[in-house]
Amino acid sequence: MTDLTQGSLRRHVWTMALPMMVGMFVQSLYLFVDLYFVSDLGAEAIAAVSAASNLTMLIMALTQMLNVGCVALIARYTGAREHQNANIVFQQAMLMGLALALLTLVLGFGLSGLYIQLLTADPVVHQQAQQFLQAYLPGLALMFVSTAIAAALRAVGVVKPTMQVQLITVLLNIVLAPVLIAGWGTGYPLGVFGAGLASSISVTVGVLLLWGYFLKSDHSVLQVPKQWRFDGKVWRQITAIGVPAGGEFALMFIFTAFVYWVIQDFGTATQAAFGIGNRILQAIMMPAMAISFALPAIVGQNFGAGQSLRVRQSFRIGMQQMAWVMGLLFILSQLMAHSLMALFSDDPLVLAEGELFMRIISLNCLSVVLVFSCSGVFQGLGNTWPSLASSFLRVFVFILPVLWLSGRSDFSPAMVWYCSAASVLLQGLCSCYLVRWQMRSKLTGLQAVA
């Protein structure tokens, strides 16, 4: 592999990752703005929105299934210059998105009350979480449609327009948050209901803008279908690749819901601290996620074209870039944990619990380098079951020790956080082993030229 090839691949990774990173930076800015105005409503509101927002992880499990299956298949067909098959996958992804959106609305409004009841014993938190979900569910449902369009474009290398649309919607959400939550300019604060409503309005605008762009633009590969026909074979192909990746987010949903359940006896302040700290760390980890999201299309196209060395080099470069970024963010988290928490709460107990959480869980900044880079390669190779296996291992080795520790008289939140950090490290090491095994299996016999 020549230096020129390595440089070319590195630029390719950053060309796709940078627009995503910008979009995710703005997304993290929205998370902070939203959290800031919700925090003014008190610890109960923070706990309510944080607990209810965990439902997003379940929706992301399904959107990730659609996203990964769509990207892997379209990227592979694009690399092999089978454009007709790529268009068929796009058509079926759109139909799947619409079906899942309808399912989300039906089940969400029907079962959200039971879900919230499992996570909190505080009646005030329960009531506010219900209010938030009533306004937030339509936006969650529409995420399936936007995912189908964005995934298809990303699979053929079109990234900037989707990031521009995301930028617009996030900025709109930032503007709407103080208006709807705190009543800026209207005098009618809607509280947590306004937080959910701002998100739903922004997602709706984003879907309309993204579809409008798709209709007016020439993508060379993707075309708007003349007839929308159900194809069960393609649905099975998308789910076969996407279900394991979606399963990872489903496990994250279970993981986070379990944390809310196991810490509820420590009080609302601890749940609020977990909600704030978790959102801050999600924002901090977004740069690594952006690089991870760029890898499937690059790996998939090179895999489809039979370029084995480029697949391996893409994996190494992606991991290197993530390591630099997350190393710096880990240092930031350790040095500024108290200051970051203080931006969103002045409650001494919330601050103390949140600072402890951030200092321990930020250790994951180093472990996720392995997790995210391996996940991107699994998706690009079209086999995400190994990634699901490592995620299952993480949840398993976290829940069992925490359940045992919860029976001790000295049980504390710090024990939960340390078990979480250790489980992510184990997941990363397992993923690294499995991705090397997968590359040996998938890339044997392909071209060994750049």
Tell me which DSSP letter residue 199 carries: H
Nearest of 35, 54, 57 to residue 46 by alpha carbon = 35
By the 8 A CB rule, do 297 and 157 touch? yes
Chain centroid, CA 78 distance in Å: 25
Tell me what pLDDT residue 312 has: 83
By the 8 A CB rule, do 378 and 384 touch? yes
In three-state secondary structure terms, 411 is coil
Question: What would the two tokens of residue 105 be?
Answer: 């609305």
By the 8 A CB rule, do 49 and 125 touch? no
Q: Tell whether pTM > 0.85.
A: no
Nearest of 2, 18, 63 to residue 238 by alpha carbon = 63
In three-state secondary structure terms, 447 is strand
In three-state secondary structure terms, 383 is coil
The torsion angle over the Cα atoms of residues 258, 262, 264 and 266, rounded to 10 degrees, is -150
Hey, how many other C-beta atoms are within 10 angstroms of the C-beta on 118?
A: 12
By the 8 A CB rule, do 91 and 228 touch? yes
Q: Distance between CA atoms of 5 and 140, rounded to whole angstroms?
A: 41
Tell me what pLDDT residue 2 has: 39
Nearest of 285, 290, 307, 218 to residue 8 by alpha carbon = 307
Tell me what pLDDT residue 447 has: 53
DSSP codes of every residue in 42-74: -HHHHHHHHHHHTHHHHHHHHHHHHHHHHHHHH
Tell me the average confidence (pLDDT) per consecutive run of 10 residues in the chain, 450 residues long: 52 60 59 74 80 76 83 81 82 91 89 79 82 89 89 78 81 89 89 90 91 75 72 88 76 84 86 85 78 78 77 83 86 89 86 92 86 85 82 92 92 93 92 88 62
How distant, in Å, are the alpha carbons of 288, 319, 326, 361 from that of 322?
5, 5, 6, 18
Q: Distance between CA atoms of 332 and 252, rounded to whole angstroms?
A: 25
Q: Distance between CA atoms of 221 and 321, rounded to whole angstroms?
A: 30
Task: Please compute Rg for the chain using Cα positions.
Answer: 22
Tell me what pLDDT residue 1 has: 39
In three-state secondary structure terms, 444 is coil
Angle at which helix 348-361 crosses helix 413-443, to 10 degrees, equals 30
In three-state secondary structure terms, 384 is coil
Nearest of 397, 111, 384 to residue 258 by alpha carbon = 397
Helical H segments across 343-412, by residue range? 348-361, 364-381, 385-405
- For 369, residues 6+ apart whose C-beta sits below 8 A from its C-beta are 288, 319, 322, 323, 326, 428
